[in-house]
Amino acid sequence: MADDQQNFACPEGEFAASVLIVDDDLDMLSMLERIVRKKCRCEVKTASSGENAWQILENWRPDVVLTDIKMPGLDGLTLLQKIKDRYPAIAVIMMSGYGTVESAIIALKSGAYDFIQKPFDNDHLLHILQRCLEHLCLLEKNRRLQSRLAEREPFPGFIGASSKIKKVYELISRLTDTDVTVLIRGESGTGKELAARALHGLSARNKKPMVTVNCPALPEHILESELFGYARGAFSGATHDKKGLFLEANGSTILLDEIGDLPISLQTKLLRVLQEKEIMPLGQTKSLTVDVRVLASTNQDLEEKIRQGLFREDLFYRLNVVTITMPPLRQRPEDIPPLALHFLTTFAKEYDRDTVVFASDAIPSLVKRTWKGNVRELQNVIKRAVLLAEDSPISAGQLTEPEPEATAPRLIDGELISLDYNVAKQRIVEDFSATYLTHALQQNGGNVTAAAQASGMNRQAFQKLMRRFGLAAEKFRSQPD
């Protein structure tokens, strides 16, 4: 039997195993004690009868009881029943030299973890015992996680108890003690970054801050140096070494936000990081090892981008180890009232409007809306309503988004009629373009990629127009996604 099967050790010291062995055959008892103590490295105690075992259990709680069935007085099956009645968390493995199928069935139905027949191979017994201890270790880790979730806010920023958001909570809780790469998908404004922060905050890496990279925000050549760093002299203006964001996140978590906008050339380098856990700063010939958990988020159809040749298929499968899909707000309408009340309380306190409340028609009107911009749009609507609120309660009418200002009235006052035709036409087109872009950015919370897609434009053309009209995406973002 391999050593890794013989020696039990729960990871991170979370579980110190202990075993009580019960058998009226003293030679068997001594042999089992010696084997278990040596091979499993557990705390071991022994009892030569069921009565003696029960006395020990009154003052000591082992993780596992390994007991014979056929014993005078208090036999193994009766001991099993007493243990399950009084101490249900203790696992019990049954042994019997008179074992039959009926005995095994009775033991398992009564709650035994497993049943082994004498005479048995020592390796087989140790395998069953180790499997039992590993099972208990997992239960202990889960118990500790649940305790941690109960002691602090489990998912900071998340509000809601709908079935769809509960599935997200459950998946996050199952991934917190792992370093698995996670792809977080969902529409703009659904809370993808909140999910990433929850994954990081509940992990063992939470002692260091999570590093977030907004992939579309920087040009390709700048993004590469930001991610991987560079050496002095790597290019003109590189007067000193720069530590990249992957090194900054060493021992922590990095979130690659809107991974779908990552240029193909950088996708190749990211693939190396995921495969080899190494980065190559610009201007260096030696790779650096990094210990980073990678999370990625996107609101794009990556499968379609793969078909278009805009996203590497091998990188997709490296990122898509586990997927968390954030549900749009329209699919969880029951979460709108608690979200609205949360934002009302938050902004009322922030802007010193403690007396602001909702009118009776406010919440029903919010529930009926489709919320194209999801939670971020709801947040912005409440924020605006609180800022503009007077002493009266906020009504449904005050929660209606104002229509963009029309440009037609300028023609009515004759301001443009006196101008040259081409000049007047250009002025109207510019006014329309600025208003249209502003509205698109408002609807998408400052997410340029989403605003461009909603406008039927590519990102580069949309950004060019933004620069022309002096529009900054940051002004439309109330909170990162």
| CATH number of the domain enclosing 128 | 3.40.50.2300
CATH of the domain at 454: 1.10.10
Of 117, 146, 175, the residue at which a domain comes to its end is 146
Tens digit of pLDDT at every position of the chain (481 positions):
334 434 444 544 445 689 999 999 999 999 999 999 888 778 899 999 999 999 999 999 999 999 999 899 999 999 999 999 999 889 999 998 766 667 778 888 888 989 898 888 888 899 899 888 877 876 666 566 445 544 444 466 688 888 999 999 999 988 977 899 999 999 999 999 999 999 998 888 999 999 999 888 877 778 888 888 877 766 666 667 788 899 999 999 999 999 998 988 889 889 988 988 888 887 777 888 899 999 999 999 999 999 999 999 999 999 999 999 999 999 999 999 989 988 988 898 888 887 788 888 888 999 999 998 999 999 999 999 998 887 668 888 888 865 544 444 444 345 556 556 666 677 777 788 888 888 888 888 888 888 888 888 888 888 888 888 888 888 887 544 4
Q: Looking up tokens 């037609």, which residue turns up?
A: 408
User: Is residue 266 a part of any domain in this protein?
Assistant: yes
Asked if 365 and 396 count as a contact pair (C-beta separation under 8 A), the reply is yes
CATH of the domain at 334: 1.10.8.60
Strand partners, 64: 19, 91
Range of the domain at 12: 3-146
| Distance, CA of 429 to CA of 379 (rounded, Å) | 32
Strand partners, 212: 255
User: Is residue 369 a part of any domain in this protein?
Assistant: yes
Tally of domains within the chain: 4
Q: Based on the domain organization, do 123 and 99 belong to the same domain?
A: yes
Q: Based on the domain organization, do 347 and 294 belong to the same domain?
A: no
User: Is residue 154 a part of any domain in this protein?
Assistant: no
User: Is residue 132 a part of any domain in this protein?
Assistant: yes
CATH of the domain at 185: 3.40.50.300
Q: Based on the domain organization, do 436 and 384 belong to the same domain?
A: no
Length of the chain: 481
| Distance, CA of 468 to CA of 7 (rounded, Å) | 68
User: Is residue 429 a part of any domain in this protein?
Assistant: yes
Q: Based on the domain organization, do 337 and 460 belong to the same domain?
A: no
Q: Based on the domain organization, do 170 and 138 belong to the same domain?
A: no
Helix (H, G, I), strand (E, B) or coil at 44: strand
User: Is residue 172 a part of any domain in this protein?
Assistant: yes
User: Is residue 151 a part of any domain in this protein?
Assistant: no
Asked if 349 and 387 count as a contact pair (C-beta separation under 8 A), the reply is no
Picking from 20, 112, 17, the residue whose alpha carbon sits closest to that of residue 58 is: 20
Q: Based on the domain organization, do 374 and 261 belong to the same domain?
A: no
Token digits for 415? 């301001």
Q: Based on the domain organization, do 335 and 319 belong to the same domain?
A: no
Q: Based on the domain organization, do 367 and 457 belong to the same domain?
A: no
| Distance, CA of 112 to CA of 135 (rounded, Å) | 14
Query: Which pLDDT belongs to residue 406?
Result: 43
Of 119, 146, 173, the residue at which a domain comes to its end is 146
Picking from 263, 306, 272, the residue whose alpha carbon sits closest to that of residue 290 is: 272
Q: Based on the domain organization, do 375 and 446 belong to the same domain?
A: no
Distances 93 to 22, 42, 119, 477 between C-alpha atoms, Å: 10, 16, 15, 59
User: Is residue 13 a part of any domain in this protein?
Assistant: yes
pTM, to two decimals: 0.55
Of 342, 369, 399, the residue at which a domain comes to its end is 399
Q: Based on the domain organization, do 42 and 169 belong to the same domain?
A: no
Q: Based on the domain organization, do 106 and 213 belong to the same domain?
A: no
Query: Which pLDDT belongs to residue 6?
Result: 44
Q: Based on the domain organization, do 74 and 218 belong to the same domain?
A: no
Helix ranges restricted to H, 192-335? 192-201, 220-228, 245-248, 264-276, 302-307, 313-319
